Structure 1
Amino acid sequence: MKTIGFVTQKGGAGKSTSALALAGALAQKYRVLLVDLDRQRSIERWSEGANLPETLEVFTATQANDLRHLPTADFVVVDTAGGLSAEVLPFLDLVLLPCAPSVFDIWAVAETVELVKAHQAHRPGLQAALFVNRLSPRTKLGKEAADALSDYGIPVLSSALHDRIAFPTSIAQGKTPVTSGNSGARLDSLIFAEEIKRLVENG
């Protein structure tokens, strides 16, 4: 069982949407547990009206220690609260740090990167990767943002999640981006999930 968490100190980075995109895509082939550890309970509220496949289960946690007591799954995807970063890191196999393609967001993620690096110094097996989120499909900013993020010294995913109306729309309809009916959102999610799966499985 591999546990993957979306972590940033900054709010509004798109952790919940990214977690849903990843969990929904992985659930196409694997048993996935989606854990809501965010105080806003966005995932929990979404699940109440969602038509979940049998391969996707939502679990609401109140503290990081709850990650010790989860049902068995192939993958665990965790949506975290901004202030819980340090507490959740010991329970993760892979930390994913979303970042929008703007100078302010690239600067803001630095604090979380340093926190992750400090944890890796004591636990070298913890994997981490940055990825570009909310990228406009009609811009070349993705490569520029990825190049800037690479200066932080941790891997940057080659895949990105684009700024598509299908992401929030699918969630409002109780779906995941991969089941939204939008080919762009579906392809984004599947490519994103495949890269993450390879990363976490290859160690």
Structure 2
Amino acid sequence: MSKIISFATQKGGSGKSTLALVLAAPLATEYGLKIAILDCDYQQSIVKTRNQIDAPSLAAMQQADPSAKYPYDVFALPLDKIFDFTDNPENDYDLIIIDVPGRADGDDVFNALTGCDAVIVPLVSDQLDRASTAEFMTILASIKKAANDAGLPFDYFGLATKRIAGRREEKEMDEYIDGLSLSRFNSFLSNRVAYSRASTLHSLLTPGFRAYAGGTKESSDEIRRVCDELIERLDLPNHKAASVAIATETDERGVSSTTVTE
């Protein structure tokens, strides 16, 4: 059964669509998850990235390798069609990511969030964003209580994005969220230009694309830590861990790990 998550906030410019883009390709290519993104945001940033930026690159790749394809699926959907998609047994994804509009003032957004197993809120440490973000997470805390009372799965987490090391506001944000007893990831993403160049075709963990986007080993390490924590918190299948275990076993027997893993 698919796990359903949303990257959501009631503040624009927090990077929720970027967060979905940064994580989806690595989760698909390196961790082996079957993923769909439902782009329900009015700006359609993820759909535009695929159609306007990545489609020409894929066409060029297919000239050399006709089997080349996107690592995961993207669908443009209105909010009122989300449950038609998620309730369809033919959509057998490991993970469905819903990118909702950047607001929390309507029943359509609220209903979409209640249909998720988890909502992940980008935490931006600017003082003007802090109270609004905490207010939104408090709303999610009330949804969690209602879901728990009904025996339904629901959780929520803050995830620091655009983090600047050593900045006083980052520490204040952590203390503010912790002081309200709101859940947050231990991992985070820094304020890196490479993340703004995330693709629906290429993973930022791929060395060639990472270099093209201006990423570094440190950016790859950040992404992996977030992916690992996301998989652990949502109890998603970790095909990467299974592959590593198989490779270790075959090495001990003196058999090529590549042959066995395939």
TM-score between the two structures when normalised by the length of structure 2:
0.69
Q: Is the 8 A contact 1:61 1:67 kept in 2?
A: no
**Would the aligned equivalents of 1:10 and 1:108 in 2 still touch at CA under 8 Å?**
yes
CA distance in 2 between counterparts of 1:115 and 1:31 reads 30
8 Å CA contact retained: 1:96, 1:128: yes
How far did residue 149 of structure 1 move? 1.4
What is the correspondence of 1:95-106 to structure 2 with a 5 Å cutoff?
95-106=119-130
- Give the residue type in structure 2 aligned to 1:117: A
Q: Work out the number of aligned pairs and report it.
A: 201
Query: % of aligned pairs identical?
Result: 21
Amino acid at match of 2:228: E
Tell me which amino acid in the other structure corresponds to 2:147.
Answer: R
Match of 2:184 in 1: 156
Please state whether the residue corresponding to 2:113 is helix, strand or coil.
Answer: helix
Which has the higher Rg, Structure 1 or Structure 2? 2
Instruction: Evaluate the alpha carbon distance shift between residue 64 and residue 127 of structure 1 in structure 2; reply closer, same or farther with a 3 A threshold.
Output: farther
| More off after superposition, 97-106 vs 6-15 | 97-106
Rounded Cα–Cα distance in structure 2 between residues aligned with 1:116 and 1:67: 19
Which residue is 1:34 aligned to? 37
Residue 193 (structure 1) aligns with: 227
Task: Report the Cα offset of residue 151 of structure 1.
Answer: 2.1
Secondary structure of 2:114's match?
helix
Give the C-alpha shift of residue 8 in structure 1: 0.7
CA RMSD of aligned residues (A): 2.3
- Aligned partners of 2:5 and 2:13: how far apart in 1? 19
Equivalent of 2:156 in 128, 151, 163:
128
Choose from 167, 177, 183 the match for 2:204. Answer: 177
Partners of 1:79 and 1:89 lie apart in 2 by 10
* Alpha-carbon separation, structure 2, partners of 1:37 and 1:114: 23
- Written as runs of structure 1 = structure 2, the 5 A alignment for 1:7-18 is 7-18=8-19
Task: Report the counterpart of residue 6 of structure 2 in structure 1.
Answer: 5
Distance in 2, matches of 1:26 and 1:101, equals 26
Q: Within 5 Å, give how 1:47-86 maps onto structure 2.
A: 47-48=50-51, 49-50=53-54, 51=58, 54-70=70-86, 71-83=91-103, 85-86=109-110
SS in 2 for 1:82: coil
Query: How far 1:141 sits from its partner (Å)?
Result: 5.0
Q: Does 1:114 align with 2:173?
A: no
Structure 1 pair 22/169, CA: closer, same or farther in 2 (3 Å)? closer
Q: 1:138: Cα distance to partner?
A: 5.8
| SS of structure 2 residue aligned to 1:160 | strand
Structure 1 spans left out of the alignment, 5+ residues: none
* Partner SS, residue 66 of structure 1: helix
Q: How far did residue 109 of structure 1 move?
A: 0.5
Question: Are the aligned partners of 1:4 and 1:75 in contact in 2 as well (CA < 8 Å)?
Answer: yes
Report the AA paired with residue 9 of structure 1. Q
Contact 1:20–1:177 (CA<8 Å) still a contact in 2?
A: no
* Greater alpha carbon shift after TM alignment, 47-56 vs 117-126: 47-56
Q: Which amino acid aligns with 2:131?
A: W
Unaligned runs of 5+ in 2: 59-67, 237-262
Deviation at 1:96, TM superposition (A): 0.3
Deviation at 1:169, TM superposition (A): 2.9
Query: Aligned with 1:149: secondary structure?
Result: helix
